[in-house]
């Protein structure tokens, strides 16, 4: 062999050897952190043995003889699978991300320190029931036992090995009960109400008169879309299901908006209109089994791993001391089950969305502010933020009687006008009892115990649907919802007058809407209005979802009832419904416009379209592109960037009304001189531009277009998955997946019309159907998988199943759990 070839062969051999070594190191590093799931491990502090059975999806069912052992073992299991996620979250909620990632996350930390989530959690802990505190501490002991046994970065997870390259000195602290409580504040933040709408209204007012801003916030269409509760009213200071109603500063705001944007989203999405959920319950009068069925699918931003962790928590013998037999969805970092079922009841959540946060414009002078004619001293505190690789940063947090000044943490804020600061008042910044509610829900055995548990669920306020094995169904609106001296919470208000202050007491729990066994035999919640304000006086909010999802679910249930009895498969089919509820309004308007050129062939796709948005749908691809163009062409020239439409059913209602006003000023394109566009001009341009956009991406053969080729989901790790370093991101991110549906379809896979990639930013984060006739016939799915360890077989094994719309068995009975188990781990004292 000539020497150049020999040299090349040797170099190639060396390179291959190095590649194999590096691959081996990587495989070793990755697998070293995978948890032990078989055999026996010691867990000091247990009072007895605990068994953990895992099925092929890695979903654990934990069996113990005491409640303390149960929650201690849950902490251990969460840490096994998801400790990095837990650690990252607690740094987020405490405003300490910069300790991990350096100065790049300072804006996040400043915003979180100003909000003071962790401070509130610290105040909350001693006010909780002593049993709740004991369970939180037991959970923390389980986490810390795992942490103590996994001291090296490579023992904990791949993320820590990668993080060590940038921040070699970092060592995780022990877990505490406050870490768990602070995560509940993150849940409340992402499921808050209309705060962004308040800012958007005010920002829009900088360019538009009041009456035109109001056009963009139409009221709920009660004449077309039913509220959740269709009967009852407050009578003798209680909500009675049978009762009938009686007759009855700009610069600072812009800076506040930046502050709110800097608060990292832990469950939701930056586009608030993408947040929602579906849940409904059907009584046995309409089901094949004669017992209720309950469905739930919360809509949150996609994350890798999923925000949810499936688990079963079982006392081997149900006693007063150990009353838990619960299966469902948990949060890694929090003991108990958030959504699921016990052996007797099931429940689901959707975001109630009451107005629980207000922005108060303030007049600040030096260290004081004006309030009711007097200068009041600002409350101040210092917050020091440690920064990896840099010097600590200290900020001063200032607060008025209404709450922290959220514009103060941003550099370059320039006071102007009558108001020069913005304070945030939010119910979650007051200590509450939501942690008590979790354990109360997990041991509830009937409707009365469920309602008692719901009374403790203060923030975030949720729509709770209920069913039990005796056949009862119900609905309860819980939550701490403020009562205002005046105003409706839709606009930022002057704080110095005191006229818009919150009253001391919120709406009493007994006055919140509740329904038990309604006559129609089902209850539907999908972030729609809870109750018609003509029959209910306390203000819940003015900013509901506008009922397109809820009405579609109602229509599907009524059609299924008319055709025969409903079963679990019917419930799952409804969850997968992709129908676009606005197509029947917009398509006829598009068909009535004169159109020439190649876009006519694309428009022809819509003539016989049924509104479904499946993966292979060419009409769905074109319609959604047209919808994007209609919104951006109509409103982007009129509105500042922060107030522009992202999409969703509020904009359905806005466009519905504008279609009847062909010469409305919103149709005119302000960027064109000496030309006044009308409705048909914008619709024509939208169809032409949509054709051009889709043809450039999918080709000119319109019949070959597929919605799934545009509408795709990337599963992105919440920290290292956005590092900007491609090899690192490739380790932790997964996808893309083609996914059907769209924003405000029942299968609500949301996207932002301001982006031309149609990338999915909100999804049904899980799906669950509970069969109360036989709980083992229940079904569920998670967005990704049980494991938080990249390259583990359960890291994203549920993702493709989820994308197909399939569900997995949701076993909960001991014999079924043991039969399905492929791993068994015993924890001993």
Give the pLDDT confidence of 8-24 residue by residue, as tens digits. 444 545 554 555 445 55
Query: Region 252-276: what's the mean pLDDT?
Result: 56
pLDDT digits 0-9 by tens, 559-575: 999 999 999 999 999 99
Q: If you average pLDDT over residues 730-758, what whole number do you get?
A: 96
Quick count: other Cβ atoms within 10 Å of Cβ 391? 8
- Please provide the average confidence, as pLDDT, over all residues in the chain: 92
pLDDT score of 190: 73
Count other Cβ atoms within 10 Å, centred on residue 245. 16
Per-residue pLDDT, 185: 87
Q: Is 355 annotated as a binding residue?
A: yes
CA distance 641 to 514: 40
Q: Residue 48 contacts by C-beta under 8 Å, 6 or more apart in sequence?
A: 64, 65, 66, 69, 829
pLDDT at 553 over 70: yes
Whether pLDDT at 751 is above 50? yes
Q: What does the pLDDT read at residue 410?
A: 40
Task: Give the per-residue SS3 of 467-504.
Answer: EECCCCEEEECCCCCCCECCCCCCCCEECCCCCCCECC
Mean pLDDT of 503-517: 96
Phi, psi of 443 (to 5 degrees): -115, 5
DSSP for residue 611: S
pLDDT digits (tens, 9 = 90+) for 657-708: 999 999 999 999 999 999 999 999 999 999 999 999 999 999 999 999 999 9
| Lowest-confidence segment of 163-167, 466-470, 549-553, 565-569 by average pLDDT | 163-167
Region of poorest pLDDT, from 46-60, 149-163, 688-702: 149-163
Q: Which secondary-structure segment (H or E) carries 62?
A: strand 60-64
What's the whole-number mean pLDDT along residues 201-213?
A: 89
Give residue 264's pLDDT.
61
pLDDT greater at residue 187 or residue 366: 366
Span 415-428, average pLDDT: 82
Chain length of the chain: 829
- DSSP E strand stretches across 585-727: 712-715
What confidence score (pLDDT) does residue 167 get? Answer: 87
Residues 237-258 have a mean pLDDT of 70
Q: What is the pLDDT of residue 24?
A: 53
The reported pLDDT for the residue numbered 411 is: 38
* Residue whose token pair is 């394109």: 669
| Confidence grade of residue 245 (pLDDT, cut at 50, 70, 90) | confident
Judge whether 277 counts as a catalytic residue. Answer: yes
Task: Report the DSSP pairing between strands 823-828 and 39-42.
Answer: parallel
Structural contact between residues 694 and 622, judged by C-beta atoms closer than 8 angstroms:
yes
Please give the full DSSP string across 173-242, using - where no structure is assigned. Answer: PPP-HHHHHHHHHHHHHHT--SHHHHHHHHHHHTTS-HHHHHHTSPPP-TTTS--SB-S-EEETTEEETT
Record the tokens describing residue 245, joined without a space. Answer: 């109603």
Query: Is the per-residue pLDDT at 248 higher than 50?
Result: no
Of the listed ranges 15-24, 169-178, 180-189, 599-608, the one predicted with least confidence: 15-24
Task: Of 35-49, 247-261, 517-531, 570-584, give the lowest mean pLDDT range.
Answer: 247-261
Instruction: Return the bridge partners of 50, or none.
Output: 827
Q: Give the integer Cα–Cα distance in Å for 754 and 741.
A: 18
- Decide if pLDDT at 792 tops 50: yes
Q: Which residue has the higher pLDDT, 791 or 4?
A: 791
The candidate with the shortest Cα–Cα distance to 347, out of 429, 467, 254, is 467
Tokens representing residue 742 in the block: 């769209």
Residue 198 assigned ligand-binding role: yes
33, 161, 180, 277: the catalytic one is: 277
Give 767's Cβ-side CA count (13 Å radius). Answer: 28
What does the pLDDT read at residue 28? 58
Position 173 pLDDT exceeds 50 = yes
Asked if pLDDT for residue 252 goes beyond 90, the answer is no
Residue 247 has pLDDT above 90, yes or no: no
CA atoms within 13 A on the CB side of 93: 28
Identify the pLDDT of residue 750: 96
**Cα 613 vs. chain centroid, distance in angstroms?**
23
What pLDDT, on a 0 to 100 scale, did the predictor assign at position 214? Answer: 93
Confidence grade of residue 202 (pLDDT, cut at 50, 70, 90): confident
**Top-level class of domain 583-612+614-710:** mainly alpha
Q: Give, to the nearest 10 degrees, the angle between helix 679-698 and helix 583-591.
A: 100
- The lowest-confidence range among 360-374, 405-419, 561-575 is 405-419
Judge whether residue 549 has pLDDT over 60. Answer: yes
Q: What is the DSSP string of 530-549?
A: SB-TTT--S---S----SHH
| Sign of the CA dihedral running 132, 133, 134, 140 | positive
Q: What is the DSSP string of 145-186?
A: HHHHT--SHHHH-HHHHHHHHH-TT--PPPP-HHHHHHHHHH
pLDDT of residue 21: 47
Tell me how far apart the alpha carbons of residues 409 and 107 are, in angstroms, rounded to a whole number.
8
Residue % of the chain over a pLDDT of 90: 83
Comparing 195 with 291, the larger pLDDT belongs to: 291
Measured between alpha carbons, how far is 371 from 497 in angstroms, rounded to an integer? 6
Whole-structure pTM value: 0.93
Residue-wise pLDDT tens digits, 289-327: 999 999 999 999 999 999 999 999 999 999 999 999 999
Mean pLDDT computed over 485-514 = 94
Given a contact cutoff of 8 angstroms between Cβ atoms, the answer to whether 664 and 678 are in contact is no
Q: What is the model's pLDDT at position 291?
A: 98
């Amino acid at each position: 062999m000539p020497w150049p070839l020999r040299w090349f062969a040797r170099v190639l051999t060396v390179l291959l050897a190095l590649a194999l070594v590096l691959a081996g190191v990587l495989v070793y590093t990755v697998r070293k952190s995978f948890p032990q799931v078989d055999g026996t491990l010691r867990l000091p502090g247990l009072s007895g043995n605990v068994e953990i059975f895992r099925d092929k999806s890695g979903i654990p069912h934990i069996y113990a003889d005491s409640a303390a052992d149960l929650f201690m073992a849950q902490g251990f299991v969460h840490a096994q699978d998801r400790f990095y996620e837990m650690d990252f979250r607690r740094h987020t909620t405490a405003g300490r991300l910069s300790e991990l990632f350096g100065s790049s996350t300072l804006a996040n930390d400043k915003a979180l320190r100003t909000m003071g989530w962790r401070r509130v959690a610290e105040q909350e802990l001693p006010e909780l029931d002593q049993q709740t505190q004991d369970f939180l501490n037991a959970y923390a002991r389980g986490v810390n036992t795992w942490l103590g046994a996994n001291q090296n970065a490579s023992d904990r997870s791949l993320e820590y090995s990668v993080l060590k390259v940038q921040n070699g000195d970092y060592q995780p602290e022990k877990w505490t009960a406050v870490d768990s409580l602070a995560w509940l504040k993150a849940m409340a933040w992402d499921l808050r109400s209309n705060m962004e709408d308040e800012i958007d209204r005010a920002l829009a007012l900088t360019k538009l008169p009041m009456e035109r801003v109001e056009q963009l916030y139409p009221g709920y269409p009660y004449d077309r879309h039913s509220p959740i509760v269709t009967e009852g009213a407050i009578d003798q200071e209680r909500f009675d299901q049978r009762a009938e109603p009686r007759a009855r500063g700009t610069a600072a705001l812009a800076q506040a908006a930046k502050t709110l944007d800097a608060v990292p989203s832990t469950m939701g999405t930056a586009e608030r209109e993408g947040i929602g959920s579906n849940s409904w319950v059907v009584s046995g009068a309409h089901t094949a089994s004669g017992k209720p069925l309950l469905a739930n699918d919360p809509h949150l931003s996609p994350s890798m791993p999923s925000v949810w962790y499936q688990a079963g928590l079982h006392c081997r013998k149900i006693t007063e001391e150990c009353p838990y037999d619960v299966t469902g969805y948990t949060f890694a970092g929090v003991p108990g089950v958030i959504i699921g079922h016990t052996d007797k009841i099931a429940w689901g959540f959707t975001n109630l969305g009451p107005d629980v946060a207000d922005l108060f414009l303030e007049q600040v002078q030096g260290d004081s502010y004006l309030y009711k004619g007097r200068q009041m001293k600002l409350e101040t505190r210092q917050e020091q933020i440690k920064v990896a690789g840099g010097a600590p940063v200290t900020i001063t947090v200032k607060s008025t009687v209404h709450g922290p000044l959220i514009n103060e943490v941003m550099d370059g804020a320039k006071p102007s006008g009558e108001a020069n600061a913005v304070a945030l008042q939010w119910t979650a910044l007051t200590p509450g009892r939501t942690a008590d509610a979790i354990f109360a829900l997990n041991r509830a055995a009937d409707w009365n115990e469920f309602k008692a548990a719901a009374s403790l669920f203060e923030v975030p306020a949720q729509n709770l649907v209920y069913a039990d094995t005796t056949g009862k169904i119900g609905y309860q609106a819980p939550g701490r919802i403020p009562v205002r001296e005046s105003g409706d919470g839709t606009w930022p208000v002057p704080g110095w007058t005191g006229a818009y202050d919150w009253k001391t007491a919120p709406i009493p729990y007994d006055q919140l809407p509740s329904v038990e066994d309604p006559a129609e035999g089902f209850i539907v919640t999908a972030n729609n209005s809870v109750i018609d304000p003509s029959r209910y006086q306390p203000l819940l909010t003015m900013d509901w979802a506008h009922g397109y999802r809820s009405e579609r679910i109602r229509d599907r249930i009524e059609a299924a009832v008319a055709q025969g009895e409903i079963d679990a498969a019917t419930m799952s089919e409804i969850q997968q419904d992709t129908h676009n509820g606005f197509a029947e309004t917009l398509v006829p308007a598009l068909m009535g416009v004169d159109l020439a050129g190649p876009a006519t062939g694309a428009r022809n796709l819509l003539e016989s379209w049924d509104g479904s948005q499946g993966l292979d749908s060419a009409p769905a691809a074109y319609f959604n592109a047209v919808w994007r163009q209609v919104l951006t062409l109509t409103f982007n020239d009129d509105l500042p960037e922060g107030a522009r439409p992202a999409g969703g059913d509020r904009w359905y209602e806005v466009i519905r009304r504008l279609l009847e006003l062909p010469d409305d000023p919103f149709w005119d394109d302000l960027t064109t001189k000496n030309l006044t566009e009308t409705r048909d001009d914008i619709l024509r341009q939208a169809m032409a531009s949509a054709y051009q956009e889709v043809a450039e991406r999918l080709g000119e053969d319109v019949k070959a277009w597929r919605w799934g080729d545009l509408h795709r989901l990337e599963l992105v790790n919440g920290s290292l998955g956005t590092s900007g370093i491609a090899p690192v991101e490739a380790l932790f991110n997964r996808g893309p997946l083609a996914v059907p549906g769209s924003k405000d379809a029942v299968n609500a896979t949301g996207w932002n019309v301001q982006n031309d990639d149609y990338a999915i930013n909100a999804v049904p984060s899980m799906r669950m159907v509970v069969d109360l006739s036989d709980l083992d016939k229940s079904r569920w799915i998670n967005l990704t998988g049980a494991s938080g360890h990249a390259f583990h077989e359960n890291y994203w094994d549920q993702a493709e199943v989820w994308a197909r719309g399939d569900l997995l068995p949701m076993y909960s009975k001991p014999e079924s759990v043991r039969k399905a188990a492929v791993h068994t781990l015993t924890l001993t004292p």
